[in-house]
Amino acid sequence: MRKLAIIPLALIMLNCSGSKSLQESLKSQNPELSCPEDGECTITVEHNKSIATKTDDTGSLYYSTADHKGTDVVIYRYTKQHDPMLADAGLTEEVIFEIDSNSKSLEYKDKAIKQTNMLYHVACFCKGRAGYYKVESGELTYKDNKLNIQLPEILKPQKLKDITITLK
């Protein structure tokens, strides 16, 4: 009889566990990504990592990741479709940020977004545009299995401005 009493208790505890952390949602689900029509978007998560920004000898910004338990680095990447016969036609834009591994909800608005060490990256054959840029304002929210990122205009033209990631 005692064994039968444990089963309902276990079911109640599972149902009361609350919402999943962003890390758990990204790991266990196939997210729906908003993406400009002329390209493909992906999202990757580097677990137990943090962002270390650096500057090279020319003054250009770049980053590396360092081991950091309890922090994850999220990379949202847009790659424009282009004719492979055109060597210099490629364009990739990325939004890179770090969050607490156990975040069940997030809300960073305006200058608070700096806490995520968010970077915007452009890789292209486009003089004066390619490189990494610190995101100084904008919005990043995670609630009800939806991750929303709104970026200010950092460069012209910029494909990634309003990103929605729905986790089922």
The yes-or-no verdict on residue 12 having pLDDT over 50 is no
Query: Please, what's the b/e burial string for 106-132 (b: 16 or more CB within 10 A of its CB; e: otherwise)?
Result: bebeeeebeebbbbbbbbeeeeebeeb
Non-local (6+) Cβ contacts of 84 within 8 A are none
The yes-or-no verdict on residue 18 having pLDDT over 70 is no
Query: Please, what's the b/e burial string for 90-100 (b: 16 or more CB within 10 A of its CB; e: otherwise)?
Result: ebebbbbbbbe
Average pLDDT of span 123-148? 92
The yes-or-no verdict on residue 168 having pLDDT over 90 is no
Omega before 157 cis (within 30°)? yes
As beta bridge partners, residue 120 has: 95, 133
Closest CA to 45 of 88, 100, 8: 100
Query: Between 2 and 146, whose confidence is greater?
Result: 146
Confidence of residue 101 (pLDDT cuts 50, 70, 90): confident
What is the per-residue pLDDT for 107?
95
Query: Please, what's the b/e burial string for 37-70 (b: 16 or more CB within 10 A of its CB; e: otherwise)?
Result: eebebebeeeeebbbeeeeeeeeeeebebeeeee
Average pLDDT of span 89-100? 92
Average pLDDT of span 134-142? 95
The yes-or-no verdict on residue 8 having pLDDT over 70 is no
- List pLDDT tens digits, range 33-63: 889 888 999 999 999 999 999 999 999 999 9
Domain-wise residue ranges, the chain: 20-166
pTM of the entire predicted model: 0.81
